[in-house]
């Protein structure tokens, strides 16, 4: 079981390292819900998190997260005590925000600071699954767990890989020239199909108008036939 878990961790870490530039020492942003779960399942975050990630790990929280825990008083006294062990990640808000809003703004859509997020907050998890490049940690069954990459992260990684593999415009031109040199391959010019043209109206002879009193062709034929018949009678 341990071997399988370690393989999963290395696979996920390799994914984020190759596609999003995550390198040790890892920076993990921790909220009050994660600390509450750690106390419930008796997980020592400071000791177990570096062992789980198999690398040096820096643990962070924010002033907004601390303020929210303090506001709940004795309910979150334990998580607050754990959180105070960690360094403060500057969030630079004009006024105190809720922990979830603070974390959302701090990490943002692009996660430029390369932060892991350690939380049990479902809404936070769901929001970051719709963005690419944020590894997420949670506690389940007395164990810290690294979530597999979201579909959004996989899609972005795939696009980045395709962009690296695809030849540039210059490389495409070089390949084209090499093909011509090697195989005599030339571009086939498309033949232009001539459009069928009708008769030129200017080349057609205009119909001659019949003068007044002039016989038509059929009338002329009838007249000639009658003349022949008349001659044949006289000669007979």
pLDDT (tens, 9 = 90+) of the chain, 236 residues, equals: 678 889 999 999 999 999 999 999 999 999 999 999 999 999 999 999 999 999 999 999 999 999 999 999 999 999 999 999 999 999 988 899 999 999 999 999 999 999 999 999 999 999 999 999 999 999 998 999 999 999 999 999 999 888 777 666 676 677 777 777 766 655 545 555 566 666 666 666 666 666 666 667 777 777 777 777 766 666 65
Q: 185 lies in a domain?
A: no
Q: 169 lies in a domain?
A: no
DSSP the chain: -HHHHHHHHHHHHHHHHHHH---SSEEEEE-HHHHHHHHHTT--HHHHHHHHHTS-EEEEE-HHHHHHHHHTGGGGHHHHHHHTTSEEPP---SS---HHHHHHHHHTTT-TT-EEEE---HHHHHHHHTSSS--EEEEETTEEEEPPPPHHHHHHHHHHHHHHHSPPHHHHHHHHHHHHHHH---PPPPPPPPPP----TTTSPPPPPPPTTPPPHHHHHHHHHHHHHHHHHHH-
Q: How many domains does the chain have?
A: 1
Q: 165 lies in a domain?
A: no
Q: 126 lies in a domain?
A: yes
Residue 76: give the domain boundaries: 2-158
Q: 19 lies in a domain?
A: yes
């Amino acid at each position: 079981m341990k071997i399988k878990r370690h393989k999963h961790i290395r696979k996920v870490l390799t994914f984020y390292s190759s596609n999003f530039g995550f390198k040790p020492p890892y920076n993990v942003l921790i909220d009050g819900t994660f600390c509450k779960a750690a106390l419930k399942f008796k997980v020592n975050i400071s000791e177990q998190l570096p062992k789980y990630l198999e690398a040096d790990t820096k643990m962070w929280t924010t002033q907004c997260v601390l303020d929210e825990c303090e506001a709940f008083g004795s309910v979150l006294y334990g998580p607050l005590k754990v959180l105070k062990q960690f360094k403060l990640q500057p969030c630079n808000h004009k006024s105190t925000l809720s922990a979830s809003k603070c974390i959302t703004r701090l990490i943002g859509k692009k996660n430029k600071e390369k932060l892991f997020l350690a939380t049990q907050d479902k809404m936070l998890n769901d929001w970051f699954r719709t963005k690419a490049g944020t590894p997420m940690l949670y506690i389940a069954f007395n164990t810290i767990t690294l979530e597999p990459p979201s579909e959004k992260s996989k899609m972005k990684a795939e696009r980045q890989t395709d962009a690296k593999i695809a030849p540039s415009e210059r490389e495409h031109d070089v390949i084209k020239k090499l093909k011509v040199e090697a195989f005599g391959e030339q571009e086939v010019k498309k033949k232009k199909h001539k459009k069928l043209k009708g008769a030129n109206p200017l080349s057609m002879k205009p119909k001659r108008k019949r003068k007044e009193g002039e016989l038509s062709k059929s009338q002329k034929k009838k007249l000639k036939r009658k003349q022949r018949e008349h001659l044949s009678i006289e000669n007979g």
